[in-house]
A and B are shown apart, each in its own frame.
Chain A
Amino acid sequence: MTGAELASAIEQRAVQLARASTDAMLADPYWDARFGPRGERHAHQDGDFHVSYLVQALRLDSAALLANYACWLRSVLVPRGMCSHHLREHFRVLGDEVHRAGIHVPEGGLEVLGEAAAALTYEGGEAGAIDAVAGDVARAAATRLDGRPTPGRESEIREWISFLADALAAARPALFERHVAFMRSFGGRPGLAPVPVESVLDAISAELEAAVDPGVWREVALLLGRAPPAAEAP
């Protein structure tokens, strides 16, 4: 099966794939709690666009197309309360749904989705330094919180770290602060033991401080509210 044939097979099931991938995302109570019905409407529109751009990228054999779309969409969604991790997750789930729909995917046929997700990884600066250690930090912080790493907790910590990186990259601390404020009121995700936000921030802080350069940590600590107190005047 060629890329163009895969594109056609996906296009024939575009509505179903967009709906399934978006519904899978929306099953997480986070979405309704944070964005309500308006968010659901926009999520479905985004799902339609993801499939449409995936089809075009496959048809043109253009990983750049989907990667450019991903980066552009991030610049739209992050200021509106989402984070890069959400977008990466939606791409991953969309790939899963293509397989689940029984569409024959040749070896590497959906690499464009992975490349688009990878394009969302920051390079350079504090955001890049954080993204480079995000996986290890999330695993370690999840273990610190629950005594063992669990996929759900790890994913939630990845989300926290992603908000942190996005806020640093955009130089807009409020993007992270809004997430902190929301998480203080959020009832939590099913299957995850409730943990106070302060404990989450402590766990992330401890692991990040150990994982990044002191210069990076100073900037990150400010956002996390973990900046060391200013030295007292003698």
Chain B
Amino acid sequence: MEASEEALDALAKRYLAAQLAGDRREAVRVVVDDGLRRGIAVPDLHLGVIEAAQREVGRLWQENRISVADEHLATSISQLVLSVLYEHLPRQASIGRQAVVACVEGELHDMGGRIGADFLEMAGFDVRFLGANVPTDALVRAVTERDVDLVGLSATMSYHVPALERAIEAVRAARGPTFPILVGGHVVAWAPELRSKLGVSVFGGRADDLVAAARQVFA
């Protein structure tokens, strides 16, 4: 079912309230009982509820209305809810492609990468999500040990651009200069010049757009 913007906004507000109250059960209940079980699509819950609420959490911290501890509490609740939703991902038929998704070395913000990994899985990729702060050499090992077809790299903070560049360079050295690499994360929005510099297959956008573009790479 395609949820209306109003319905998603209402869920996002209740979800945010549960996050700020530190109420994990209520957060899960809002997303699963009042979202999923009432027919709202998982990608809508990812983007319209969890990601939207996380943006609001970030804004509240920026404006000094909540503490760092509150922000971490809210984020840990979203990690839990994403785990619950993982069981319910509507997966398209396998496209026979393997993907590795990782946050570059030093990058601790892994929620965007995690959502990207879930979206790739929904699009039919076989995904391994390596999480936050993946050392470049470990990333290369993960990409070469298996017959991986695509690497997704996430970077939030701009001072991790050198690590992003090193990761791309190392993956290309191991798998060839045209190996498909997808880059997402906040860094993309702040420095659009990166697109031409990195020369990667897919660059920036929402998780669903990013993944649709990734699928096109193999069409």
Contacts and interface: CB of A to CB of B under 8 A. Distances in A.
A222 interface: no
Contacts of B65: 79
A15 interface: no
A80 interface: yes
Given A62-B193, A68-B190, A69-B190, A56 B161 contact: yes
A79 B64 contact: yes
Interface in A64-103: 64-65, 68-69, 72, 75-76, 79-80
Contacts of B63: 75, 79, 170
B191 A65 contact: yes
A53 B158 contact: yes
Given A49-B159, A53-B158, A56-B158, A62 B191 contact: yes
B146 interface: no
Contact of A56 (B62, B189, B191, B192): B191
A64 to B, nearest CB: 6
A8 to B, nearest CB: 11
Interface string A39-78: 0000000000100110011011110110011001001100
A61 B194 CA distance: 9
Interface in B168-198: 189-194, 197
Interface residues of B, number: 15
B62 A75 contact: yes
**Main SS class of interface, B:** helix
A81 B64 CA distance: 10
Interface residues of A, number: 19
A64 B191 CA distance: 6
Contacts of B192: 62, 64
Contacts of B194: 60, 62
A80 B11 CA distance: 30
Nearest to A75: B62
A52 B159 contact: yes
B183 to A, nearest CB: 14
A144 B200 CA distance: 58
Contacts of A65: 158, 190-191, 193
Interface of A: 49, 52-53, 56-57, 59-62, 64-65, 68-69, 72, 75-76, 79-80, 170
Interface of B: 62-65, 158-159, 161-162, 189-194, 197
13 contacts: A52-B158, A57-B191, A61-B193, A62-B191, A62-B192, A64-B190, A64-B192, A65-B193, A68-B189, A68-B191, A76-B64, A79-B64, A170-B63
